A and B are shown apart, each in its own frame.
Chain A
Amino acid sequence: MLDAFSAPYMQRALVEIALLAVLAGVLGAWIVLRRLAFFTHSVGTATFPGLVVAGPWGIAPQLAALIAALGFAGARERLARGREGEEDAATGILLVGALALGALLASDVYRSGAGVDRLLFGTLIGLSGRDLALTALAAALALAADAALRRAWLARAFDPDGARALGVAVAWPERILLAAVAGAVIVALAAVGALLVSVVLVVPAATVRLLARDVRTLQLGTGALAAVEGVAALWLADGLNVSPGPAMAVLGGAVFALVALLTRGRS
């Protein structure tokens, strides 16, 4: 089994997964506690058109993804303005619009049909040094943000009304959290794809949430679980000749279901 991990591409993939596990651990807890799972998934999906044009236009995929995500955020802001209860529908419409746009760009403009799988579900063999460097940067920034702002994030998550009354700053820690999550999504795209960023950033945290009694444990447990699931997914992906995203999705889902079943008695 260890032979599988000796190839250079696998070693890069391992490093990437380890770094993503750090991101999953640090930010996944907050994603789950602050109910940002849909936001995480949305950002991932929204980047798809950007990813499609990145190669042909010669821009770094992460940059194209960032621009696409910002465009999406702006459009979302304008589309759902005012009307309450329309946010879900507005986001859903823009997401399917992003997918359709990406599909159009891929099918006609760039005839890159075969590459679409890689963009949607990630790649095992296509990770570059730059991808790793950016992921490492994102992980370092996430750790720093967590160290500085975890109290603000906790107060806001626990009691939104009372947080400001406590004298805790709320607005800019919130913005930094959303930016950190978006950044994590953007660097996770390479490995797991635009449609499955949740399997790294959300699912392990949701699983450990069923067990953890405090935030620190939640974070550490999530990081560990994400690392284990990630490595197993890499091995599975290599063996089945698929991308890591789907492999991790199935593993993560199975582990979550198992833990949910086993802990059902607890309150």
Chain B
Amino acid sequence: MSAPLVRTEELSGGYRPGTDALTGVTFAAEAGEVVAILGPNGGGKSTLFRALLGELPQRRGTVELAGRPAYVPQTERARLDFPVSALDVALMGAYGRTPWYRRLARADRAAARAALARVGLEAEAGERFGALSGGQRQRVLIARALVQDAPVLLLDEPLSGVDAPSAARIEALFEELRGEGRALLVATHDVRQARSWQRVLCLHGRQIAYGDPAAVLTPDVLQATYGAELVVLGDGSTAIAVEHHEH
């Protein structure tokens, strides 16, 4: 069996010396796995991503990565009023491998177009990024990560607030990326979604649980992760939806 694409052991760290935002994270993601990262806001999901990207000032523990991960932020964090097209944004994925004294290669431009086509936005390549819908913008940011061609992708709530067609496209894309042997870490609030993937990591400042969703996602674990009485909700887009199975 080959080495996992992501592996951490006792990963801890924070933004200021002395205070840890995250402690004791130990998990691994193999090629072809989608790992759900569950936890409340402020519970450490973004901190974990920061740590994996090497941007956490106070970091302790082991981190092993197969190359630089690609990061897909939430669309709200990007500027909507910017004079860039969808293609321009996708093309940014090639910036990291192009030294400052070189122009972008024609192959990179082609890769950007291909990535947009893969997320179903070929026709919108020339549109201004901010003029697209939330779901389309999220897909453009994913296309940017595809252009980066990284073995590991970190996605921060890629499906929250996204319209259903975009969400379906994105989830289908996840399956394709699994087939290509990449590993995906997806921060999410959607427990239902987490159950459909290969692994789940529950964080609340510290690691609560990690492993197979069916085994890990018990009411107790969810309670410890979210720290409050959980409520069943009809619609599950941003709120926590827990299905109580009445046996």
Contact = CB atoms under 8 A, between A and B. Distances in A.
Does chain A touch chain B in the assembled complex, meaning CB atoms less than 8 Å apart? Answer: yes
Interface of A: 33, 148-149, 151-152, 154-155, 157-159, 161-162, 164-169, 209, 212-215, 217-218, 267
A267 B80 CA distance: 11
B95 A164 contact: no
Given A164-B55, A165-B53, A166-B93, A33 B148 contact: no
A151 B83 contact: no
26 contacts: A33-B82, A148-B100, A148-B101, A151-B92, A151-B95, A152-B100, A154-B88, A158-B79, A158-B89, A162-B78, A164-B53, A164-B55, A165-B53, A165-B55, A165-B71, A166-B71, A166-B92, A167-B68, A167-B95, A209-B83, A213-B83, A213-B128, A214-B84, A215-B83, A215-B84, A217-B83
Contacts of A161: 71, 73, 77
Main secondary structure of the interface of B (DSSP, over half): mixed
Given A148-B101, A212-B83, A215-B84, A158 B92 contact: yes
A158 B82 CA distance: 7
Contacts of A152: 95, 100
A267 B81 CA distance: 9
User: Which of A152, A164, A166, A213 has most chain B Cβ within 10 Å?
Assistant: A166
B83 A214 contact: yes
B97 interface: yes
A209 B55 CA distance: 32
Interface in B46-88: 53, 55, 68-71, 73, 77-79, 82-85, 88
Q: Which 9 A-B pairs have the closest CB atoms?
A: A167-B96, A165-B71, A159-B78, A166-B96, A168-B95, A214-B83, A148-B100, A151-B95, A165-B53
A23 B185 CA distance: 44
Nearest to A213: B83
Interface in B144-162: 144, 148, 154
Contacts of A157: 79, 82
B85 A214 contact: yes
Contacts of A155: 92, 95
Contact of B79 (A149, A159, A165, A167): A159
A253 to B, nearest CB: 22
A155 B98 CA distance: 13
Contacts of A33: 82-83
